[in-house]
């Protein structure tokens, strides 16, 4: 498969953009190749600058749950842009989308729109600190919550991909307030809470970890966090930037029946446009400026294009049977890849929650960052490149999640499974 123009553009980009990309994992460094430059997308497919087509399981890192360029979403954005892209003033669409989010997500009684997932988590933590009057926070090793200073401590995602979980440029005075526990280990959380009594403002967690690959919560983990936070006066924040509206219409909290105090959202609620949101209990959210003293602002927050795309997307997700159909497709592709690996005698640990799935290149169970870190990343890189040659576009990192969309057909899934069988035989 020819990637000549993509390689040329990457070489050109490195002269004007640090590393040639505007987000690190896009650089394909961990798989030893030059990144593809994408020209267009439609449904479950993306097309690069060399006119190669791929079945896409990245989906812009999650938001394209209805597929690329869904006609309803495109029509909503086109209609809106005719009247203006941004006003820096309130619009009716903000209320419409806010009400849809409140109706869908169990924990959210009020919601504030922002422009990115990073902004959502950063703001939620500030609000939790303002609400509790405490400084410390607990996060989990391998969970990524955006690139705010306090959160770049033992982070997953791009940081995990490059093996540099702690970023230069983060002052020690910021990092010292971030305590790190192990995902799926209540004992590690209890120890931190006990040794930092009455100083912890919040615990922030991906209820389904998606930034060290897809790692589901073990039975009792989320319930244990909920009980601990209730007993200790700690704000429990679910980072559902990835899992929100993805694993269920009401997110992971609906799926697992555990309600946090606050939730951060992104990705899907903007239909692919830049967006984020954080919300939660009314008594917490009313501490936010201008109704309270905790400051947060953004000129592009709630911009009409993102609101229109989000409303159109959520209206599609609300259609009867949407999630069941997506569940069936996701099960087929994840189980098909796992079977292809087994048939080839290749060690693999497969995980899936709803339409999020991951093939871990390890023999052992993956339940946290230490076990995920045991994966054979060199074998994954070979698999990734082999799948790319077969016309299957996966995330260029072992430590990322794959996403299935409603636009993927049975033929797309069958093509993916056949490609995986060939790839495993090639690298076994």
Residues with active-site annotation: 144, 239, 267
For residue 220, what is the DSSP state?
Answer: T
Q: CB within 8 A of 219, min separation 6: which ones?
A: none
Contacts for 326 with CB less than 8 Å, ≥ 6 apart: 65, 354, 355, 404, 405, 406
Q: What residue has token string 């997500």? A: 105
Handedness of CA 332, 156, 307, 37 (dihedral sign): negative
Cα(135)–Cα(177) distance, integer angstroms: 6
Element (DSSP H or E) covering residue 344: none
Residues in contact with 348: Cβ distance below 8 Å, sequence separation at least 6, in sequence order:
337, 338, 341, 342, 359, 360, 361, 362
> Which structure tokens are listed for 189?
């959380």
C-alpha pair distances (Å), 200 with each of 136, 141, 189 = 5, 17, 11
Distance set, CA 387 to CA 67, 83, 356, 405 (Å) = 20, 43, 18, 18
Work out the angle at residue 53's Cα, subtended by the Cα atoms of residues 49 and 59, and round it to the nearest 5 degrees.
Answer: 95
Looking at the DSSP bridge assignments, the partners of residue 37 are: none
- Angstrom distance (rounded) from CA 339 to CA 238: 33
Residue 77 exposed, middle or buried by CB count within 10 Å (0-12, 13-18, 19+): buried
Determine the Cα–Cα distance for residues 409 and 253; give it in Å rounded to an integer.
28
Peptide bond before residue 290 is cis, with ω within 30 degrees of 0 = yes
Euclidean distance between the first and final Cα of the chain, in Å?
22
Which two three-digit tokens encode residue 77?
């954005």
Rounded Cα distance between 250 and 46, Å, is 28
CA distances from 208 to 52, 217, 300 (A): 33, 6, 29
């Amino acid at each position: 498969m020819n990637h000549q123009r993509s390689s040329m553009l990457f070489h050109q980009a490195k002269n004007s953009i640090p590393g040639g990309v505007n987000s690190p994992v896009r650089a394909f460094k961990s798989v030893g190749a030059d990144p593809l430059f994408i020209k267009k997308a439609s449904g479950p497919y993306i097309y690069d600058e060399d006119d190669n087509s791929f079945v896409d399981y990245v989906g812009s890192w999650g938001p394209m749950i209805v597929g690329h360029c869904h006609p309803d979403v495109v029509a909503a954005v086109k209609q809106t842009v005719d009247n203006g892209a941004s006003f820096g003033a309130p619009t009716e669409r903000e209320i419409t989308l806010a009400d849809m989010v409140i109706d869908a997500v169990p924990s959210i009684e009020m919601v504030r729109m922002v422009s990115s997932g990073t902004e959502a988590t950063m703001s939620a933590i500030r609000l939790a600190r303002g609400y509790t009057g405490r400084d410390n926070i607990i996060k989990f090793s391998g969970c990524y919550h955006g690139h705010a200073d306090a959160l770049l401590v033992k982070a997953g995602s791009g940081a995990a991909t490059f093996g540099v979980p702690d970023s230069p440029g983060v002052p020690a005075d910021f990092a010292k307030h971030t305590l790190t526990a192990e995902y799926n280990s209540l004992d590690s959380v209890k120890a931190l809470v006990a040794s930092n009594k009455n100083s912890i403002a919040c615990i922030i967690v991906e209820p389904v970890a998606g930034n060290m690959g897809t790692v589901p919560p073990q039975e009792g983990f989320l319930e244990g966090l909920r009980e601990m936070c209730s007993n200790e006066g700690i704000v429990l924040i679910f980072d559902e930037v990835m899992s929100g509206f993805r694993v269920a219409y009401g997110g992971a909290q609906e799926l697992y029946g555990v309600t946090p105090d606050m939730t951060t959202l992104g990705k899907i609620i903007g239909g692919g446009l830049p967006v984020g949101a954080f919300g939660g209990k009314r008594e917490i959210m009313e501490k936010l400026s201008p109704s309270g003293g905790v400051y947060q602002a953004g000129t592009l927050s709630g911009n009409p294009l993102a609101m229109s795309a989000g409303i159109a997307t959520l209206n599609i997700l609300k259609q009867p049977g949407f999630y069941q159909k997506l569940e069936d497709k996701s099960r087929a592709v994840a189980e098909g890849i796992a079977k292809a690996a087994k048939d080839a005698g290749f060690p693999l640990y497969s995980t899936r929650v709803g339409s999020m799935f991951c093939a871990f290149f390890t023999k052992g169970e993956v339940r946290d960052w230490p076990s995920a870190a045991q994966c054979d990343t060199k074998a994954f890189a070979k698999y990734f490149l082999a799948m790319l040659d077969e016309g299957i576009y996966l995330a260029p990192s072992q430590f990322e999640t794959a996403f299935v969309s409603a636009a993927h057909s049975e033929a797309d899934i069958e093509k993916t499974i056949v490609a995986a069988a060939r790839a495993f035989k090639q690298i076994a």
